[in-house]
């Protein structure tokens, strides 16, 4: 309480600002060629560097930061992550702050009210992944509570040589390419080899895609822009590391050759020191840790990506290298085991129906929240009315839609909040991935069951919500206007996992303004194959919930087949004259995703198929059945019905088989089966047999 009162007191004494020192910085965002992972790529840098400069202030200073947009045709923004500041300076484009248009700049000005380690980053599109981030250090009045001989800021990040828009497109199409690249692809053979075959089928039975702790295959993990760096220090020196996870979609395990890390601050706020030999840090969180250089040598501080696909290191001190302990790589199948326990508890809607299920989950390393304790009581004003709301996090890897309470940001943007209330948010993660949830403009108290005395609940701005678990946070609503609340996994946020906390002072008709250009954009995807006997595919524009596109099937193989085979209905052969050389069926269609199990579809079919050559409109649905069978039913405007059942099986990382059987009241039975081998991200080899067009082989493609 005392602590918060201090913050409010500083806030109110605006008169002190008159004597405050103004500390000025310029951040120039430009497109530059850099090579953090060895290959030269175009990136966005701030003042030419990756990460941007460390902005240093003292509590009581006034920050005056000029952000210059040196880009040709992209807007830019800068959010000051974790800082309490006036709403218009928060830097979320449209929601709080006007975007900075190309060639222009904006000057942010705000008083520094509290000390700690924070950071800044672009809040526009996917710019954060391209390099627009840096660190902020605010020193308390009278110096740090815990003294150290030296300090260093470590900005952790993940780096891809791909354009992040291309990463997003790859995630949208549920390509297995990143899993193949990282070595976490799951297959029947892989499951059998690791002894997890039963769990593999258990997962398929539960209609869930393979689990992984991260979505993207990165080319490098970086600390201060480098996979490997050094930090000068003498034996016996106490070093304070200010660690910021600025990655777009990577949790890191932190450990050090110097022994357990002593955590002294979390999300900028001092905590009672605890020791932790391995620390899991979520995106957008910060920790200040203390370590002592034990003796001569270069002691490794290591950040290992949670999926074990890579690491970044800083060697502290001089001399012989002393390595930090390896973090064992998670077996992707064992995650299925952990989750298998909860799968049986899922009810029909895919929601967790039984809290007991959580207890059965195999323990996995989580952030040290249960042990974090503020240094002073953090209790909120007792007189304030308490309101509790529930927020459910959900998503679908097969589709890459991520929602809060079932909706994306553009579908429903607002969480209403009343000024003067204490808002308790119970955040329930019903999905299979971790979500680091970040609240703008406020510190919340993190209330942990079986944690320390709630009086000392730590104050945070970002909280990891593990799969199939919940977190409860609460804060005093003492602000105004609109503040963003979102998952800090950049691609989840981009796919819809964001809301705007909207204060009631703006009237009942207020709607937050959103960056609609960058929210839920459509991506163009082309998936198909060309084989010796036929070609099939789907070209579409896709956003989180809709597919608009053309699906084609065309065949030319049956001319050769007809001489040898009976026609498929067993009736008399069609003569060559009434049979087109090339048969085609093209569906112009709209598919709408309802939930992981249901999609609706509607469209118009152009066809010259010999048994069914009438163009028709159609409507229907696709339903995902246990063991991941997809059942599709359509009714055509001429009264014909069509049903199909499709299934694919991953045999090895790269080899899959597929089969499809279809019944059409006009054409009767048809079936096909085949195999595909993934060569590259875009190409594969395919072979198939189709009951109409026979055997063939060719290339499959994904662009
Ligand atoms: Cu998320």
435 CA distance to ligand 1 middle (Å):
4
Min mean pLDDT across 340-344, 409-413, 520-524 is at 340-344
pLDDT of residue 694: 94
Give the helix/strand (H/E) hosting 561: helix 558-562
- Output the CA–CA distances (angstroms, integers) from residue 93 to 30, 78, 128, 351, in the order listed: 18, 8, 14, 34
User: Is residue 429 over pLDDT 50?
Assistant: yes
Mean pLDDT rounded to a whole number for the chain:
89
Measuring CA to CA, which residue among 400, 431, 408 is closest to residue 168? 400
Strand order in the sheet with 55-58: 55-58, 133-139, 116-121, 79-81
Could you give the domains of the chain? 175-208+331-360 (no CATH), 523-702 (2.40.160)
Euclidean distance between CA atoms 364 and 689, whole angstroms: 45
60 CA distance to ligand 1 middle (Å):
35
309 CA distance to ligand 1 middle (Å):
19
Residues of the chain above pLDDT 90, percent = 76
437 CA distance to ligand 1 middle (Å):
7
User: What separation, in Å, do the N-terminal and C-terminal C-alpha atoms of the chain show?
Assistant: 56
482 CA distance to ligand 1 middle (Å):
21
User: Is residue 18 over pLDDT 60?
Assistant: no
Confidence of residue 77 (pLDDT cuts 50, 70, 90): very high
536 CA distance to ligand 1 middle (Å):
34
Sign of CA dihedral 357, 358, 360, 362: positive
pLDDT of residue 194: 87
489 CA distance to ligand 1 middle (Å):
5
- Output the CA–CA distances (angstroms, integers) from residue 200 to 130, 521, 543, 579, 648, in the order listed: 36, 34, 30, 45, 14
Euclidean distance between CA atoms 184 and 402, whole angstroms: 22
pLDDT of residue 338: 53
Mean pLDDT of 644-649: 95
562 CA distance to ligand 1 middle (Å):
53
User: Is residue 440 over pLDDT 90?
Assistant: yes
29 CA distance to ligand 1 middle (Å):
26
644 CA distance to ligand 1 middle (Å):
34
- Kindly report, residue by residue over 195-248, the tens digit of the pLDDT: 888 888 888 888 877 777 788 999 999 999 999 999 999 999 999 999 999 999
Question: What's the pTM?
Answer: 0.90
Give CB contacts under 8 A, 24+ apart, made by 183-186: 183/309, 183/653, 184/212, 184/307, 184/309, 184/332, 185/210, 185/650, 185/653, 185/654, 186/210, 186/332, 186/333, 186/336, 186/650
Euclidean distance between CA atoms 309 and 329, whole angstroms: 8
**Is the Cβ–Cβ distance between 418 and 424 less than 8 Å?**
no
pLDDT of residue 355: 37
User: Is residue 344 over pLDDT 80?
Assistant: no
Indicate the length of the chain as a whole number. Answer: 703
50 CA distance to ligand 1 middle (Å):
24
134 CA distance to ligand 1 middle (Å):
22
pLDDT of residue 567: 45
CA–chain centroid gap for 578, Å, is 54
pLDDT of residue 5: 53
pLDDT of residue 360: 37
User: Is residue 612 over pLDDT 80?
Assistant: no
- Kindly report, residue by residue over 95-124, the tens digit of the pLDDT: 999 999 999 999 999 999 999 999 999 999
Euclidean distance between CA atoms 221 and 567, whole angstroms: 58
Q: Which residues contact 641 (CB under 8 A, 6 or more apart)?
A: 633, 634, 635, 664, 665
245 CA distance to ligand 1 middle (Å):
15
Euclidean distance between CA atoms 463 and 446, whole angstroms: 8
499 CA distance to ligand 1 middle (Å):
13
Confidence of residue 3 (pLDDT cuts 50, 70, 90): low
468 CA distance to ligand 1 middle (Å):
13
- Kindly report, residue by residue over 299-338, the tens digit of the pLDDT: 999 999 998 899 999 999 999 999 999 987 777 777 654 5
Angle between helix 332-343 and 197-205 (nearest 10): 50
Report which of residues 265 and 519 the model is more confident about: 265
Report which of residues 563 and 481 the model is more confident about: 481
**Is the Cβ–Cβ distance between 651 and 188 less than 8 Å?**
yes
- Kindly report, residue by residue over 353-365, the tens digit of the pLDDT: 333 333 333 445 7
105 CA distance to ligand 1 middle (Å):
31
166 CA distance to ligand 1 middle (Å):
19
**Is the Cβ–Cβ distance between 646 and 629 less than 8 Å?**
yes
Confidence of residue 6 (pLDDT cuts 50, 70, 90): low
Give the helix/strand (H/E) hosting 202: helix 197-205
216 CA distance to ligand 1 middle (Å):
13
651 CA distance to ligand 1 middle (Å):
29
520 CA distance to ligand 1 middle (Å):
15
User: Is residue 352 over pLDDT 70?
Assistant: no
Euclidean distance between CA atoms 102 and 68, whole angstroms: 9
């Amino acid at each position: 309480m005392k602590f918060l009162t201090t913050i409010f007191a500083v806030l109110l004494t605006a008169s002190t600002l008159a004597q405050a020192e103004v500390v000025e910085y310029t951040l120039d965002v430009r497109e530059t060629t850099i090579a953090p992972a060895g290959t030269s790529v175009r990136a966005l840098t701030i003042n030419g560097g990756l990460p941007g400069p460390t902005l240093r202030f003292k509590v009581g200073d006034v920050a005056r930061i000029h952000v210059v947009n040196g880009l040709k045709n992209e807007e830019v923004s800068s959010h000051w992550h974790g800082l309490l500041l006036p709403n218009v300076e928060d830097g979320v484009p449209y929601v709080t702050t006007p975007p900075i248009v190309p060639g222009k700049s904006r000057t942010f000005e705000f008083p520094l009210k509290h000390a700690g380690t924070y950071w800044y980053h672009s809040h526009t599109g996917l710019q954060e992944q391209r390099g627009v981030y840096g660190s902020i250090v605010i020193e308390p009045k009278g110096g740090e509570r815990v003294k150290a001989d030296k300090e260093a800021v470590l900005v952790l990040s993940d780096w891809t040589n791909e354009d992040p828009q291309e990463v997003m497109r790859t995630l949208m199409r549920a390509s297995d390419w990143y899993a193949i690249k990282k070595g976490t692809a799951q297959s029947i053979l892989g499951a059998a080899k690791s002894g997890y075959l039963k769990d593999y089928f258990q997962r398929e039975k539960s209609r869930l895609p393979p689990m992984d702790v991260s979505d993207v295959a990165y080319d490098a993990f970086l600390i201060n822009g480098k996979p490997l760096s050094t930090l000068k220090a003498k034996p016996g020196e106490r070093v304070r590391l200010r660690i910021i996870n600025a990655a777009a979609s990577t949790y890191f395990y932190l450990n050090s050759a110097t022994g357990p890390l002593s955590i002294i601050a979390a999300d900028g706020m001092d905590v009672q020191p605890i020791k932790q030999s391995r620390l899991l840090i979520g995106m957008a969180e910060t920790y200040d840790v203390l370590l002592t250089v034990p003796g001569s040598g270069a002691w490794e501080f290591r950040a290992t990506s949670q999926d074990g696909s890579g690491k970044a290191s800083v060697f502290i001190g001089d001399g012989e290298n002393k390595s930090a302990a390896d973090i064992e790589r998670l077996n992707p199948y064992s995650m299925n085991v952990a989750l298998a326990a909860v799968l049986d508890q899922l009810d029909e809607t895919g929601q967790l129906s039984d809290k007991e299920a959580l207890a059965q989950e195999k323990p996995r390393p989580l952030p040290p929240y249960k042990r974090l304790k503020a240094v002073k009581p953090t209790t909120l004003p007792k007189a304030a009315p308490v309101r509790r709301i529930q927020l459910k996090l959900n998503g679908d890897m097969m589709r890459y839609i991520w929602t809060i309470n079932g909706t994306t940001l553009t579908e429903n943007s607002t969480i209403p909040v009343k000024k003067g209330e204490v808002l308790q948010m119970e955040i329930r993660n019903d999905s299979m991935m971790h979500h680091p949830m970040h609240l703008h403009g406020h510190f919340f108290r993190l209330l942990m069951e079986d944690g320390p005395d709630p009086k000392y609940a730590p104050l945070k701005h970002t909280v990891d919500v593990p799969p199939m678990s919940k977190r409860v946070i609460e804060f005093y609503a003492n602000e105004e206007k609109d503040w963003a609340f979102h998952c800090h996994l950049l691609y989840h946020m981009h796919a819809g996992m964001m809301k705007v906390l909207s204060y009631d002072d703006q009237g009942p008709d207020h709607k937050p303004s959103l960056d609609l250009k960058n929210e839920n954009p459509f991506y163009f995807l082309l998936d198909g194959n060309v084989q010796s006997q036929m070609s099939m595919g789907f070209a579409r524009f896709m956003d989180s919930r809709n597919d608009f596109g053309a699906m084609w099937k065309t065949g030319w193989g049956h001319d050769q087949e007809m001489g040898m085979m009976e026609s498929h209905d067993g009736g008399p052969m069609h003569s060559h004259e009434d049979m087109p050389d090339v048969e085609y069926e093209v569906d112009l269609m709209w598919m709408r995703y309802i939930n992981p199990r249901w999609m609706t579809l509607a469209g118009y079919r152009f066809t010259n198929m010999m048994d069914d050559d009438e163009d028709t409109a159609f409507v229907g649905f696709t339903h995902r059945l246990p063991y991941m069978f997809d059942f599709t039913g359509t009714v055509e405007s001429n009264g014909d019905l069509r049903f199909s059942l499709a299934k694919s099986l991953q045999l090895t990382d790269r080899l899959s088989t597929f089969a499809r059987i279809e019944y059409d009241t006009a054409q009767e039975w048809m079936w096909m089966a085949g195999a595909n081998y993934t060569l590259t991200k875009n190409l594969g080899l395919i072979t198939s047999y189709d009951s109409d067009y026979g055997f063939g082989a060719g290339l499959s493609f994904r662009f």
